[in-house]
């Protein structure tokens, strides 16, 4: 569960009087005693209070650089995975003739996944296809049972769900979030959702028809308000994020990177502690999704 602390850390070396004073979360803070005249509660960025706009900006710039650097390491790729067609063939699920027919149809149409063609031509069933895909990616096949679109929509911004074919499926035991993917799990998105929500994220696949049905319901649900932005530079991205944090004065803010997006989430209030699942309501948080080019 996310810890939405607004208190500032104090060190044991501080005297009794200075422990009562707010401590700015910016390690390079220069504002000295002037900060005492500023709000002692908000805004909070990554658990730390920022005393001024300049400090918010420096903290966000540092976080942007951290995300840029850390996410430059590509997530583990499945270089040696067996192609779906060969896998189904080796399992005896389809024949060589059926595989060839599906590949030909796919080539002629210039679209569609091989699995879809195999199912359409009745060479195999959707269940066999999703199991083979899950084996390819080393992830589980998830079930759409107990999916509740309205409570799951606040898990991540719609733009990110759409872009990466992801669907927040359900929360189990208040600590585990099942994130379903349409065709291949994205470890980078799963990690981002994990860091933002504070829930352990288990990525898996859904059968095509189940994904489409659940996704249609999700798209009708209310998502948190989101500000979308295209940044020409990292500095520009940090500038826009600073402006939003200064404007909204959130009690907590988190910033992660998902491929070529920065996703920043702002918590307006701490009010989901007593709710059924440990996700905020759509009105309790606000997102910023900032697209940037890899050259920036
Ligand atoms: Zn400061």
Residue 258: name the closest of 223, 219, 287, 217 by CA.
287
Please calculate the CA angle 145-219-140 and round it to the nearest 5 degrees: 40
CA distance 224 to 157: 7
Check residue 11 and give its pLDDT: 42
Check residue 7 and give its pLDDT: 44
Top pLDDT among 232 and 63 is at 63
Ligand 1 center from residue 7 Cα (angstroms): 15
Ligand 1 center from residue 267 Cα (angstroms): 21
Ligand 1 center from residue 25 Cα (angstroms): 7
CA distance 108 to 198: 46
Confidence band for 23, pLDDT divided at 50, 70 and 90: confident
The backbone torsions φ and ψ at residue 240, rounded to the nearest 5 degrees and listed phi first, read -65, -40
Report pTM.
0.84
Q: What mean pLDDT do residues 140-152 have?
A: 93
Confidence band for 5, pLDDT divided at 50, 70 and 90: very low
Q: What mean pLDDT do residues 285-293 have?
A: 93
Residue 77: pLDDT over 90: no
Q: What mean pLDDT do residues 118-141 have?
A: 92
Strand order in the sheet with 261-267: 225-231, 285-292, 261-267, 252-258
Top pLDDT among 75 and 98 is at 98
Domains and their CATH numbers in the chain: 16-72+224-292 (no CATH), 84-129 (no CATH), 149-220 (3.30.300)
Ligand 1 center from residue 26 Cα (angstroms): 5
Lowest mean pLDDT among 11-15, 29-33, 256-260: 11-15
Share of the chain above pLDDT 90, in %: 65
Ligand 1 center from residue 65 Cα (angstroms): 19
């Amino acid at each position: 569960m996310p810890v939405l602390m607004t208190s500032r850390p104090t060190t044991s070396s501080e005297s009794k009087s200075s422990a009562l004073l707010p401590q700015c979360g910016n390690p390079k803070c220069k504002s000295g005693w002037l900060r005492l005249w500023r709000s002692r509660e908000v805004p909070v960025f990554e658990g730390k209070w920022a005393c001024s706009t300049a400090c918010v900006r420096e903290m966000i710039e540092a976080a942007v650089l951290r995300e840029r650097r850390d996410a430059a390491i590509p997530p583990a790729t499945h270089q040696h995975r067996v192609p779906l067609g060969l896998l189904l063939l080796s399992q005896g699920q389809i024949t060589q003739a059926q595989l060839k027919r599906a590949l030909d149809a796919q080539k002629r149409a210039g679209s569609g996944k091989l699995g879809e063609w195999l199912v359409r031509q009745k060479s195999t069933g959707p269940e066999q296809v999703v199991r083979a895909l899950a084996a390819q990616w080393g992830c589980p096949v998830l079930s759409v049972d107990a999916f509740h679109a309205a409570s799951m929509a606040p898990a991540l911004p719609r733009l990110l769900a759409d872009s990466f074919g992801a669907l927040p499926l359900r929360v189990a035991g208040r600590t585990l979030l099942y994130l379903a993917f349409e065709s291949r799990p994205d470890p980078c998105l799963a990690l981002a959702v994990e860091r933002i929500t504070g829930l352990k994220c288990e990525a898996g696949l859904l059968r095509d028809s189940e994904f489409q049905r659940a996704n249609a319901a999700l798209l009708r649900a209310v998502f948190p308000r989101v500000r979308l932005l295209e940044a020409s530079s990292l500095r520009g991205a940090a500038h826009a994020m600073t402006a939003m944090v200064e404007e909204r004065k959130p009690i907590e803010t988190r910033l992660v990177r998902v491929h070529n997006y920065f996703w920043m989430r702002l918590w307006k209030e701490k009010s989901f502690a007593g709710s059924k699942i440990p996700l905020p309501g759509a009105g309790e948080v606000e997102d910023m999704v900032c697209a940037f080019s890899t050259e920036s």
